[in-house]
């Protein structure tokens, strides 16, 4: 055996290096979770006492004890469902076109560049766009529909890009295999590409939706309403959403309203998490199905 | 040989962008025989194979000149849908590429997308039997195709092609990703399939070409020119009495 002292000393240093970087990276990954935990504890402490059936089933009120979140909750649900209905098919359709049909020419690159840029546009800009386009020009008024379409425009780039990634990750060999069996381009997309890409597409959609329903800025531009004492029953009704309601309560001077805001945040988080849970369930189901 | 032509290339040329991959190829692929295409990497073997079922159409920037006659018709004539060509000419790829679906759904894919009426289960069973895979998978048809071994996956891909009862089966180095035992199985399978089908196989493996094929075509590239058909004849001729010095050098291993 070689008795190499320099090597052994060096090895010791290398081992130390290895373990210290491990600790460093571990703490890096814990920062996010830690911050989230603090936030959750803080919000729960402030809001859980105010979160009861009365809070869920009441309209906003000047008196904190009587105030509730009913109209905002329903507004959020409305906007969320409509946004998903609009943005999922359009987003996936655009991604399919760009990945499976579009020839690699200047037009395709132009569209692609624009989509990438749109993904980075601040949400308030979308709010103003929605205000000009849907509320005013298309005369939809400050309606659920105008709000959902605005959030659709905002979510589309994210959904398209995520769906493109998912579609691109389907092995070319599978497409060729299907073409070689006489499948048409649409059949290849329908039976080979989409089933494999769906889990990834759904993940992207969940992320985009989650971001959309938490947005206050564009919704304030569209809705501009806080005291709404009815539940929207048609897409053309006026509406408010949870982030607006929370924002309003936070900006009140009275401390009771801050508790209401915390309770509102808990409701928003519950809506978000249950939406994610549904999407994850869907995704796992499809993943299993394609692996079978 | 007095065989009828299954496929005939007439002065076939292929470009990928500015790169010419095939030059003036004319050859007749006889029916119910195994024709092997041999030659060094990059000489245009696979490109030629993909011309026979218009798979090159899927490669951006590819352009074909000349004709490929199939059933007396030029498959590159206007008005011919490549889907129909691929429905009648099957293909097996270098790497086994079963779909991430069940074994059954893989074998049933061709008949389903082409709207074939009839008992799909019978078609699938027949194709799997023909591909010598039935006994190994009959109890787990609903299980994922990805669970199969590489050799089984490749036989599934052959079964998938057979389910459409094609007239010609193109095989692009079908054994290059397989171990020797799986390779022998596929070779035996090819020989039995040649009774009913025309098979064109691209291979790197000289012994394989000598073992399985009736006809052999030797392709080569010069320093700056790819896709030249050097010599084409019966496998016996090519391997025992090549007319061209380059063929002789290649098959005796003196090449490159």
How close does chain A come to B22, measured CA to CA in Å?
21
Query: Residue B2: what pLDDT?
Result: 42
Chain center to CA of A92: 15
Asked whether the beta carbons of residue A182 and residue B146 sit closer than 8 angstroms, the reply is no
Element (H, E) at A292: none
Asked whether the beta carbons of residue A181 and residue B100 sit closer than 8 angstroms, the reply is no
Q: What is the distance between the alpha carbons of residues A95 and A288, in angstroms, rounded to a whole number?
A: 23
- Chain B residues within an 8 Å CB radius of A192: 99
- A residues 75-104 lying closer than 8 A (beta carbon) to B: 103-104
User: What pTM was computed for the model?
Assistant: 0.84
Nearest CA in chain B to A183: B113
- Chain B residues within an 8 Å CB radius of A103: 60
Of the candidates A203, A97, A213, which has an alpha carbon nearest to the alpha carbon of residue A158? Answer: A203
Tell me: pLDDT of A200 over 50: yes
Q: Which of B87, B93, B146 sits opposite A177 (nearest CB)?
A: B93
pLDDT digits (tens, 9 = 90+) for A219-255: 888 876 767 777 778 887 778 888 888 888 888 888 8
pLDDT digits (tens, 9 = 90+) for B100-133: 999 999 999 999 999 988 899 999 999 999 888 9
Tell me: pLDDT of A291 over 60: no
Query: Residue A260: what pLDDT?
Result: 85
Q: Parallel, antiparallel, or unpaired: how do β-strands B19-30 and B168-172 relate?
A: unpaired
pLDDT digits (tens, 9 = 90+) for A133-179: 888 889 888 888 988 999 999 999 999 999 999 999 999 999 999 99
Least confident of A8-17, B145-154, B217-226: B217-226
Asked whether the beta carbons of residue B143 and residue A292 sit closer than 8 angstroms, the reply is yes
| Any B CB within 8 A of A196 CB | yes
Tell me: pLDDT of B87 over 90: yes
- B residues 31-60 lying closer than 8 A (beta carbon) to A: 53, 55, 58, 60
Span A49-56, mean pLDDT?
80
Per-residue confidence band for B3, with pLDDT thresholds at 50, 70 and 90: low
Query: Residue A288: what pLDDT?
Result: 65
Q: Which of B58, B113, B144 sits opposite A182 (nearest CB)?
A: B113
Query: Residue A9: what pLDDT?
Result: 87
Asked whether the beta carbons of residue A182 and residue B110 sit closer than 8 angstroms, the reply is yes
DSSP A65: G
Query: Residue B103: what pLDDT?
Result: 95
Q: What is the distance between the alpha carbons of residues B200 and B34, in angstroms, rounded to a whole number?
A: 6
Tell me: pLDDT of B88 over 50: yes
Span A81-98, mean pLDDT?
94
Tell me: pLDDT of A292 over 50: no
Query: Residue B256: what pLDDT?
Result: 45
Give the burial class of B75: count Cβ atoms within 10 A of its Cβ; 0-12 exposed, 13-18 middle, 19 or more buried.
buried
Query: Residue A2: what pLDDT?
Result: 66
Q: Which of A174, A180, A292 sits opposite B53 (nearest CB)?
A: A180
| Any B CB within 8 A of A253 CB | no
How close does chain A come to B148, measured CA to CA in Å?
12
């Amino acid at each position: 055996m070689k008795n190499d002292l320099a090597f052994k000393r060096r090895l010791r240093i290398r081992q130390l290096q290895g373990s210290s970087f491990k600790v460093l990276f571990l703490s890096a990954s814990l920062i996010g979770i830690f911050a989230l935990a603090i936030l959750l504890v803080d919000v729960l402490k402030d809001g859980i006492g105010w979160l009861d059936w009365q809070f869920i089933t009441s309209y906003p009120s000047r008196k904190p004890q009587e105030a509730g979140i009913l109209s905002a909750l329903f507004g959020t649900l409305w906007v969320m469902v409509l946004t998903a209905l609009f943005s999922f098919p359009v987003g996936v359709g655009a991604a399919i076109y760009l990945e499976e049909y579009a020839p690699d020419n200047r037009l395709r690159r132009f569209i692609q560049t624009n989509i990438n840029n749109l993904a980075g546009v601040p949400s308030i800009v979308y709010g103003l766009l929605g205000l000009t386009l849907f509320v005013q020009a298309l005369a939809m008024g400050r309606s659920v529909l105008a709000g959902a379409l605005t959030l659709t425009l905002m979510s589309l780039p994210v959904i398209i890009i995520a769906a493109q990634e998912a579609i691109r990750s389907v092995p070319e060999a599978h497409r060729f295999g299907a073409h070689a069996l006489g499948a048409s381009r649409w059949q290849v997309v329908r039976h080979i590409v989409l089933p494999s890409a769906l889990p990834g597409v759904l993940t992207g959609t969940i992320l985009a939706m989650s971001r959309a329903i938490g947005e206050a800025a564009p919704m304030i531009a569209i809705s501009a309403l806080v005291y709404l004492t009815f539940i929207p029953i048609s897409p053309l009704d006026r509406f408010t959403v949870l982030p607006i309601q929370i924002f309003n309560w936070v900006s009140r001077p009275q401390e009771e309203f801050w508790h209401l805001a915390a309770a509102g945040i808990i409701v928003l988080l519950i809506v978000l998490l249950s939406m994610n849970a549904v999407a994850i369930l869907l995704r796992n189901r499809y993943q299993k199905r394609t692996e079978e | 040989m007095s065989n009828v032509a299954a496929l005939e290339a007439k002065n076939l040329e292929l470009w990928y962008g500015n790169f010419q991959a095939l030059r003036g190829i004319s050859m007749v692929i006889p029916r119910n025989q195994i024709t092997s295409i041999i030659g060094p990497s990059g000489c245009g073997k696979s490109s030629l194979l993909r011309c026979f079922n218009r798979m090159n159409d899927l490669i951006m920037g590819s352009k074909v000149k000349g004709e490929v006659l199939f059933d007396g018709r030029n498959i590159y004539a206007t008005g011919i849908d490549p889907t129909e060509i691929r429905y009648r000419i099957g293909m097996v790829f270098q790497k086994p590429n079963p779909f991430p679906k069940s074994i059954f759904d893989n074998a049933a894919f061709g008949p389903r997308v082409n709207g074939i009426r009839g008992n799909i289960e019978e078609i699938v069973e027949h194709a799997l039997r023909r591909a010598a895979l039935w006994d190994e998978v009959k109890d787990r048809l609903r299980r994922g195709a990805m669970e199969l071994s590489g050799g089984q996956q490749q036989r599934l891909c052959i079964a998938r092609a057979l389910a459409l009862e094609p007239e010609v089966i193109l095989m692009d180095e079908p054994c290059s990703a397989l171990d020797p035992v799986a390779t022998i199985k596929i070779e035996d399978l090819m020989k039995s399939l040649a009774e009913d089908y025309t098979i064109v196989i691209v291979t790197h493996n000289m012994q394989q070409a000598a073992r399985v094929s009736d006809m052999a075509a030797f392709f080569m590239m010069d320093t700056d020119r790819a896709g030249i058909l050097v010599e084409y004849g019966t496998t016996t001729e090519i391997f025992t009495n090549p007319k061209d010095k380059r063929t002789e050098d290649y098959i005796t291993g003196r090449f490159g």
